[in-house]
Structure 1
Amino acid sequence: MFALPLGDDAQLRPLEPSHAEEFLAHIDRARPHVDPWIPWATFSTDLASATAVLQRYADRQAQDAARIYGVWLDGTLVGGVMFTKFDAAEGVCEVGCWLEADGAGRGLVTRACRALIDWAFTKRGMSRVEWWVATGNDRSIDVARRLGMTRDGVLRGRSAYRGVRRDTEIWSVLRDEWERPASSDKAEIDALTRVFFGAFTNTAGSRPDVDAIREVFVPQGRIISNVGGALVTYDLDAFIEPRREMLTDGRLTEFSEWEVSERTEIFGSIAHRFSAYRKSGYLAGEWFEGSGAKTTQFVRTPAGWRMSSLLWDDAA
């Protein structure tokens, strides 16, 4: 059995019928977090039904029609990802995920889904990977965005669960959108930087995705402000939570910041990027614009490149 490291002492491994007892204990913990978004999890209420869920996936994997994998954190099953549909003849598959609360906020599902999508495109020659999600399942929609997917459309009133009909959103990524350019290290660092800058955007009523910052950083990462010579050092929680509050309580609206130029240097498993950036928005109802510079350090981990520290200063 293979085990793919995901970082943070987490692994991605096949989830098989022999894991039924462990799977049931996990689903019992996860149920409040995933219901009603993952109905089949609700159907795993005892050992027999949990075994049946995993056996169905094992049978469909034997037909090359679906696959299921677990995410283990510190040796405990905390979630998983799966190909809910896999049609090699058509070159189209669908990826899904679930996670219990104790595994959230670490980027585990996004990393695991990237591994599945990369395998589907590079090893199986798939042309399109889909992501079907109920409207209102914001956590799942955020993962689709982090994976670089595009929302293709909405199937209105498509599914019913406990007497409530829900719309289903379809997101997708195509193979030519996923393939990395020759300089994959630089492309990965570019992508991490885009996620960081985009995490604060709340324009046009959009919801800021500040939790994505935890995905692009190593857990021990530090973010340092030296604006006006006032040195302030944050760990990830201390940096994220005040900005989440400010971006959602109406104080800071229509806000975005973006990189306008960069210089990136890569040496083996470490890298540095110097970025000039601009920002704008309404602060307490008053429009403002600003600019500044960020310097970011990166390290290569078993799960790919991650930010290790970031420092910034704003223009006077």
Structure 2
Amino acid sequence: MFILPLRENAQLRPLEPAHAQEFLDHIDRARPNVDPWIPWATFSTDLASATATLQRYADRQATDTGRIYGIWQDGTLVGGVMFTRFDTASGNCEIGCWAEEAGQGLGLVNQACRALIDWAFGERGMSRVEWWVSSVNTRSIEAARRLGLTREGVLRRHTEYRGERRDIEIWSVLSDEWPPASCSTAPTDKDELDRLMSAFLGAFDNTNGSSPEVDVIRQVFIPQGMIISNTGTGPVVHDLDAFIEPRAKMLTDGTLTEFSEWEVSERTEIFESIAHRTSEYRKSGFHDGERFEGAGRKTTQFVRTPVGWRMAALTWEDE
């Protein structure tokens, strides 16, 4: 059995039927994040069904039509990646991913996906890797964007989930668009800054009943970090606590629901141990039951610390 190190204390390795109990325990922890998006999570509810899920992938691997791999962090299964389809005759395959809360915001899923795409193109000669995602799964869409995939289109009302028809977006990358493995496996400074921004924006997401993770903001900022609003009458400067507390309340007391925020463009400049990023973003949700959409701009300053890149200050203005 191979083991691929992702970073310190994190590994990618095959998920096999023998891992069924560990897999079930992990899926139970991950279910709020995974169940709406990955069909087998809905059905892997006891040891027998979890074993059956892993056995189906073992059978697909035996016929070279699919594979599944787990991500272990500090010895605990926290997520994974998979080829849901692998068709060597057509040269097309589809990749997917998932993670529980402990495996999010660390860049592990991004690294694992890159390893699978490297292998599909470099070792197996595939022509095209696809990423199918529900149009309301903002985390997965952002993951596809960070990987550099291209959004090709939407299959309208393609998939039913608990009585609701959902649109499916198709993202893809072609073999001649993908950088060589030597260029793509190790995370760069830019990868780390992308991860921090994604974690910051994702901290407010409470779509589809998910819980916002606003405490992530303390992880991506230095303790002395500042967040500044320059919308309205003028600059309002917050320390981390002053910024987090009212937003945590709004996102959990019913004031702000189905909220998500995402970058639509960015420019990042890196100068040794400091960096600067300008972004345009969009957001949507319901405020006191009324639907809204918005957009704006952010500037973010980063510093390299002994434990990696961190945000130092962020300023935003809404349109």
| Matched letter for residue 93 of structure 1 | C
Q: In the superposition, relative to structure 1, how do residues 51 and 173 fare at CA in structure 2: closer, same or farther (>3 Å)? A: same
Q: Secondary structure at the match of 1:90?
A: coil
Match of 1:96 in 2: 96
Cα displacement (A) at 1:311: 6.4
Q: Is the contact made by 2:111 and 2:185 (CA closer than 8 Å) also made in structure 1? A: no
Match of 1:78 in 2: 78
Match of 2:150 in 1: 150
Are positions 1:126 and 2:134 aligned together?
A: no
* Structure-to-structure mapping, 1:107-126, within 5 angstroms: 107-126=107-126
Match of 1:54 in 2: 54
Q: In the superposition, relative to structure 1, how do residues 257 and 109 fare at CA in structure 2: closer, same or farther (>3 Å)? A: closer
Structure 1 range deviating more: 105-114 or 128-137: 105-114
| Matched letter for residue 308 of structure 1 | W
* Whole-Å separation in 2 of the counterparts to 1:55 and 1:280: 44
* Whole-Å separation in 2 of the counterparts to 1:195 and 1:150: 19
Match of 1:303 in 2: none
* Whole-Å separation in 1 of the counterparts to 2:314 and 2:136: 37
Give a deviation string over 1:181-221, Cα, whole Å, max 9, x none.
Answer: 997799944555566678889xxxxx9xxx9xx8xxxx798
Tell me how many residue pairs correspond in the alignment.
Answer: 280
| Matched letter for residue 62 of structure 1 | A
Q: In the superposition, relative to structure 1, how do residues 7 and 65 fare at CA in structure 2: closer, same or farther (>3 Å)? A: same
Structure 2 unaligned residues grouped into runs of 5+: 202-206, 208-212, 227-237, 282-295
TM-score (ref. length: structure 1): 0.67
* Whole-Å separation in 1 of the counterparts to 2:242 and 2:184: 29
* Whole-Å separation in 2 of the counterparts to 1:129 and 1:239: 43
Match of 1:39 in 2: 39
Q: Is the contact made by 2:196 and 2:220 (CA closer than 8 Å) also made in structure 1? A: no
Question: Percent sequence identity over matched residues?
Answer: 53
Q: In the superposition, relative to structure 1, how do residues 21 and 273 fare at CA in structure 2: closer, same or farther (>3 Å)? A: same
Q: Is the contact made by 2:115 and 2:185 (CA closer than 8 Å) also made in structure 1? A: no
Structure 1 unaligned residues grouped into runs of 5+: 202-206, 227-231, 266-271, 282-287, 300-305
Q: In the superposition, relative to structure 1, how do residues 298 and 55 fare at CA in structure 2: closer, same or farther (>3 Å)? A: same
Match of 1:308 in 2: 309
Cα displacement (A) at 1:172: 0.9
Match of 1:284 in 2: none
Are positions 1:11 and 2:7 aligned together?
A: no
- Supply the RMSD in Å over aligned alpha carbons: 4.8
| Matched letter for residue 30 of structure 1 | A
Cα displacement (A) at 1:66: 0.2
Q: Is the contact made by 1:224 and 1:311 (CA closer than 8 Å) also made in structure 2? A: yes
Q: Is the contact made by 1:200 and 1:257 (CA closer than 8 Å) also made in structure 2? A: no
Q: In the superposition, relative to structure 1, how do residues 313 and 58 fare at CA in structure 2: closer, same or farther (>3 Å)? A: closer
Cα displacement (A) at 1:139: 1.6
